[in-house]
Amino acid sequence: MTCQTAKPKSKPYKMADGEGLYLEITPYGTKLWRLKYRIHGKEKRISLGGYPAVSLANARKAKDDMKRDIKIGIDPVLKRLQAAQTQALSGQLDFKSMALEWHGKQMPLWKSKHANIIKHRFEKYVFPFLGSFPLADIKPLMMLSCLQKIEKTAPDLSRRMKAACSHVFKYAIATGRAESDPTYGLEAAMKKFKRGHYASISVDEFPQFLVCMANYQDRVHRQTFLALKLLLLTFVRTGELVEARWDEINFEKAMWVIPAERMKMNLPHIVPLSHQSLALLRELQALNAHRDFIFPGYYNPKKPMNKNTMLVAIKRMGYNGKMTGHGFRALALGILKEKLGYPHDIADRQLAHVPKSSVDRAYDRAQFLVQRTKMMQEYADYIDQVLKTYGDG
Whether residue 178 is found in the same domain as residue 216: no
**How many CB atoms lie under 10 A from the CB of residue 180?**
14
Q: Is residue 1 part of a domain?
A: no
Whether residue 139 is found in the same domain as residue 267: no
Q: Which alpha helices (H) appear in the chain, and where do they start and end?
A: 56-71, 76-92, 95-106, 112-121, 127-130, 140-151, 155-174, 206-216, 222-234, 238-242, 275-288, 308-314, 327-338, 344-350, 358-361, 369-390
Whether residue 99 is found in the same domain as residue 121: yes
Return the CATH number at 136: 1.10.150.130
Whether residue 282 is found in the same domain as residue 240: yes
Q: Is residue 341 part of a domain?
A: yes
| d(C-alpha 41, C-alpha 43), whole Å | 7
Q: Is residue 291 part of a domain?
A: yes
| Predicted pLDDT at 359 | 45
Question: Kind of pairing, strands 21-25 and 31-39?
Answer: antiparallel
Q: Is residue 76 part of a domain?
A: yes
Q: Which of 43, 59, 85 is the last residue of a domain?
A: 85
Task: Note whether 209 and 201 are within 8 A (CB).
Answer: yes
Q: Which of 30, 62, 85 is the last residue of a domain?
A: 85
| Predicted pLDDT at 361 | 47
Whether residue 250 is found in the same domain as residue 353: yes
Q: Is residue 194 part of a domain?
A: no
Q: Is the pLDDT of residue 354 over 70?
A: no
| Predicted pLDDT at 77 | 87
Q: Is the pLDDT of residue 211 over 80?
A: yes
Whether residue 180 is found in the same domain as residue 222: no
Return the CATH number at 209: 1.10.443.10
Whether residue 316 is found in the same domain as residue 351: yes
Torsion sign across C-alpha atoms 331, 337, 338, 340? positive
CA distances 283 to 205, 243, 260, Å, are 28, 17, 26
| d(C-alpha 55, C-alpha 3), whole Å | 9
Q: Is the pLDDT of residue 85 over 70?
A: no
Amino acid in the structure at residue 10: S
List beta partners, residue 34.
22, 47
Q: Is the pLDDT of residue 156 over 90?
A: no
pLDDT tens across 303-315, in order?
999 988 998 999 9
Structure confidence at residue 92 as a pLDDT band (50, 70, 90): low
- Mean pLDDT over 259-284 rounds to 88
Whether residue 146 is found in the same domain as residue 260: no
- Mean pLDDT over 309-326 rounds to 87
Q: Is residue 275 part of a domain?
A: yes
CA distances 367 to 153, 222, 227, 241, 286, Å, are 43, 35, 27, 22, 33
Q: Is residue 5 part of a domain?
A: no
Whether residue 210 is found in the same domain as residue 228: yes
**How many CB atoms lie under 10 A from the CB of residue 285?**
15
Structure confidence at residue 364 as a pLDDT band (50, 70, 90): very low
Structure confidence at residue 277 as a pLDDT band (50, 70, 90): very high
Q: Which of 126, 157, 189 is the last residue of a domain?
A: 189
Whether residue 385 is found in the same domain as residue 258: yes
Q: What is the mean pLDDT of the chain?
A: 86
Whether residue 78 is found in the same domain as residue 112: no
| Predicted pLDDT at 386 | 92
Give the catalytic positions in this structure: 237, 264, 326, 329, 353, 363
List beta partners, residue 249.
256
The structural domain count of the chain equals: 3
Q: How many residues does the chain have?
A: 393
Report the largest interatomic distance among the alpha carbons of the chain, rounded to a whole angstrom: 116
- Mean pLDDT over 176-189 rounds to 89
Task: Note whether 155 and 191 are within 8 A (CB).
Answer: yes
Give one DSSP letter per residue of 256-281, joined into a string: EEE-GGGSTTSS-EEEEPPHHHHHHH
Q: Looking at the whole model, is its pTM more than 0.75?
A: no
Whether residue 229 is found in the same domain as residue 355: yes
Return the CATH number at 35: 3.30.160.390
Q: Is residue 31 part of a domain?
A: yes
Which of 289-293, 336-340, 387-391 is the least confident region?
387-391
| Predicted pLDDT at 345 | 81
User: Among residues 277, 300, 287, which one has the least CA distance to residue 223?
Assistant: 287
Quote the percentage of the chain above a pLDDT of 90.
41
| Predicted pLDDT at 392 | 60
| d(C-alpha 314, C-alpha 109), whole Å | 35
Which of 25-29, 199-203, 285-289 is the least confident region?
199-203
Give me the domain span that covers residue 172.
93-189
